[in-house]
Structure 1
Amino acid sequence: MTSTPDDIRRDGFGPHAHFHTLIAEIDSSFAGMCLYFPIYSTWRGQPGAYVQDLFVAKDFRGLRIGERLLRHLARAVRDQGGGYIELQVDAGNVSAQRFYQRIGMKRDADHVYQFMGDSLTAFAGKEDDEETA
């Protein structure tokens, strides 16, 4: 993880927020969070939400905090005319995979491709590069 609290404050709050966050508290203590952002599927023809992070603090695991956060998000998505929630799980995170299956999420067969860091910079090229067809 390379992000800092300043990165989160800059990108998640203020006039140009890039994401939304649901926070769970128990007795004024941070219990968990769901960080998500709106997405749209041209395939489905409907809006949805992409969950970037779902985290429950160690002391609060087993209390269904993660399920409650996702249920709150599901209701918000539904009430705003959306029809789906997507997320990714690390291949080695078997407990998270079981959790998502237990609450009724379905795994798809898509493959994830990414540009990151240097590969993004190289692919983007310079502003004055000509597009070639």
Structure 2
Amino acid sequence: MSDAATVLRATGRRKRASARVRLIPNGSGSFTVNGKEMETYCYSESLARVAELPLVTVDKKGQFDVIALVQGGGPNGQAEAISHGLARALEKFDGELRQPLKKAGLLKRDPRRRERKKPGQPGARKRFQFSKR
């Protein structure tokens, strides 16, 4: 690993998932999530594509080592949290990358959350069946 001065850290969040991303410039292109390779952790190709989208957007795939620690949420939320943290770390690396990342919508935190269940109802929006008689 390289010295601490060149390691960039950022946090990404989505729903209940939170990802701490470390970006190491001039790396071999390895991408690990919770100690596993990206292909192993993100079991589908679409999840892996979402997670590495910031690198593809700025044409820097293979130039950095990425180490992500993610917890909470489900697979989709975790992949999007990794993507958010990676975009923030890339912005710290080079301010010129802000414009393409922002245009792709990768720097914005998606605020949508699960709606809570209300009392007296079976779910968040669902109501009990109405009977006229």
TM-score (norm 1): 0.27
TM-score (norm 2): 0.27
Answer 1 or 2: which has greater strand percent.
1
**Which structure has the higher relative contact order (CA within 8 Å, separation 6+)?**
2
Q: Which has the larger radius of gyration?
A: 2
